[in-house]
C-alpha cells in the first residue's frame, strides 16, 4: 500500500503493476483524483464505515462493472451516531479492510481522520457549524428513531462528494432510506453524480450482511434471521394477492415475536419513493423493518 504508485502506474500506463493507494488526507485524495482523471476513466465512490464484508464488495464490483476506477472511503462518521448509540463499539479493522479492497481491485482507499473531515471544530465533529440536511424522506423510520442520523449522513456524504468528486457513487439497498435520502440530496443540491445501488447481500439463512452482525452473540446470531424471515412472509403474502399493508405488517410482527431475543422497532409498508406509509400495497412499495437483537440494532427491507 505505498502512496504514489497509482500515479506512477497511470503515468507509465503500466496498469498491471497497479498498487492500491491508501490515502489519509484531503490533499492527497485530490492529487490522486487528478491522476485518475488523466487516465480517462470515470471515478466511482463507494462510501463505507469499514469493517468491510461481501455486501461492501458487491458495491465495489458494481463500480467495476461500470468501467470506473473505484475509490472506497472508510470513515466511521461520528455525527450520524446518537449520543447513546454504538459509535465506540462500532467494529473497526483497517488491515482487513485494505485486504478486501485490494482483492476487489480498488484504486484508492480514502480513510480520513476526524480532523480531515471536520476541520476547525475544536476536536468535536458534533460541534461543526455547517450541516447538510434533507428534511422530507429523512422524517420517518430511521430518522424518527435516530434524531440527527440523516443530517450526519448527508453532511458526510456531501463532504465526500466534494472531496472525491466522483462521476458515480454506489450505495446498498440494505440501507434503503439512506439511498433515497442521498438520491434526494443529489437532486436538490445538483451534484453531477449518478447514484447506483446494489441489492442486499445475505447470509445463507437470509440475514443481511452488516458490520454490526459481528457484535451478535451466538444465540443472537441464530435468531437474527428473523428480520429477513418477516420480510419474506410479507413478500409471499403480497405475491399471493394480499394488498392490505396492515395485514402484511401484522404478519411481520408475528414472525419477529417468535424470536425471544428480538425486540421489534418497526415493521411497516411504505411507498418506495416517498417513504410515506401506505394502506394498500403496490408493486414498488417497500417493507421496512428494524429490531434490536440483544443490544444490536439491525435494519432490513424488501422491495415488493
Chain positions 49 to 68 lying near ligand AMP, rule: CB under 6 A, are: 49, 55-56, 58-59
DSSP state of 272: T
DSSP bridge pairs for 286: 270, 303
Q: Pairing relation of β-strands 194-198 and 168-172?
A: parallel
List the interface residues with ligand AMP, window 212-271 (CB under 6 A): none
Biggest CA–CA distance in the chain, Å, is 62
Q: Helix-strand-coil percent breakdown of the chain, rounded to 5?
A: 45, 20, 40
Q: Which is nearer to ligand AMP, 146 or 174 (CB)?
A: 174
**CB 252 → ligand AMP: shortest distance, Å?**
19
Which residues make beta-bridge pairs with 255? none
Q: Quote the least distance from Cβ 11 to ligand AMP, whole Å.
A: 32
Tell me, yes or no, if 283 is annotated catalytic: no
Query: Which residues, 149 to 208, sit near ligand AMP by CB under 6 A?
Result: 171-172, 174-175, 198, 200-201, 208
* Residue closer to ligand AMP, measured from CB, 55 or 148: 55
Beta pairing, strands 43-48 & 69-74: parallel
End-to-end Cα distance, the chain? 43
C-alpha cell at 16: 498491471
- Please report whether residue 300 would count as binding ligand AMP according to CB under 6 A: no
Q: Which of 211, 213, 255, 268 binds ligand AMP (CB under 6 A)?
A: 211
Tell me if 200 sits within 8 A of 174, measured CB to CB.
yes
CB of 175 to ligand AMP, least distance (A): 4
Q: Catalytic amino acids?
A: 56
Residues that bind ligand AMP (CB under 6 A): 48-49, 55-56, 58-59, 171-172, 174-175, 198, 200-201, 208-211
Amino acid at each position: 500500500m505505498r502512496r504514489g504508485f497509482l500515479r506512477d502506474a497511470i503515468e507509465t500506463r503500466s496498469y498491471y503493476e497497479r498498487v492500491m493507494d491508501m490515502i489519509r488526507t484531503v490533499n492527497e485524495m485530490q492529487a490522486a483524483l487528478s491522476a485518475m482523471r488523466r487516465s480517462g476513466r470515470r471515478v466511482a465512490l463507494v462510501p463505507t464505515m469499514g469493517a468491510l464484508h461481501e455486501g461492501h464488495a458487491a458495491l465495489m464490483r458494481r463500480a467495476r462493472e461500470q468501467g470506473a476506477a473505484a475509490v472506497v472511503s472508510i470513515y466511521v462518521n461520528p455525527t450520524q451516531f446518537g449520543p447513546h448509540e454504538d459509535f465506540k463499539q462500532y467494529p473497526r479493522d483497517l488491515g482487513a479492510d485494505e485486504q478486501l479492497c485490494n482483492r476487489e481491485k480498488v484504486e484508492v482507499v480514502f480513510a480520513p481522520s476526524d480532523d480531515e473531515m471536520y476541520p476547525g471544530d475544536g476536536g468535536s465533529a458534533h460541534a461543526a457549524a455547517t450541516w447538510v440536511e434533507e428534511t422530507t424522506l429523512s422524517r420517518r423510520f430511521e430518522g424518527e428513531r435516530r434524531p440527527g442520523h440523516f443530517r450526519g449522513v448527508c453532511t458526510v456524504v456531501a463532504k465526500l462528494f466534494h472531496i472525491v468528486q466522483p462521476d458515480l457513487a454506489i450505495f446498498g439497498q440494505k440501507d434503503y432510506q439512506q439511498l433515497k435520502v442521498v438520491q434526494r440530496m443529489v437532486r436538490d443540491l445538483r451534484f453531477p453524480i449518478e447514484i447506483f445501488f446494489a441489492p442486499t447481500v445475505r447470509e445463507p439463512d437470509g440475514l443481511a450482511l452488516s458490520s454490526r452482525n459481528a457484535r451478535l452473540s451466538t444465540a443472537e446470531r441464530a435468531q437474527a434471521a428473523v428480520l429477513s424471515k418477516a420480510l419474506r412472509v410479507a413478500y409471499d403474502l403480497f405475491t399471493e394477492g394480499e394488498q392490505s399493508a396492515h395485514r402484511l405488517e401484522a404478519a411481520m410482527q408475528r414472525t419477529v415475536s417468535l424470536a425471544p431475543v428480538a425486540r421489534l422497532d418497526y415493521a411497516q409498508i411504505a411507498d418506495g419513493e416517498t417513504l410515506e406509509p401506505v394502506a394498500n400495497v403496490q408493486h414498488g412499495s417497500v417493507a421496512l423493518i428494524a429490531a434490536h437483537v440483544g443490544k444490536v440494532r439491525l435494519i432490513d427491507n424488501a422491495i415488493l
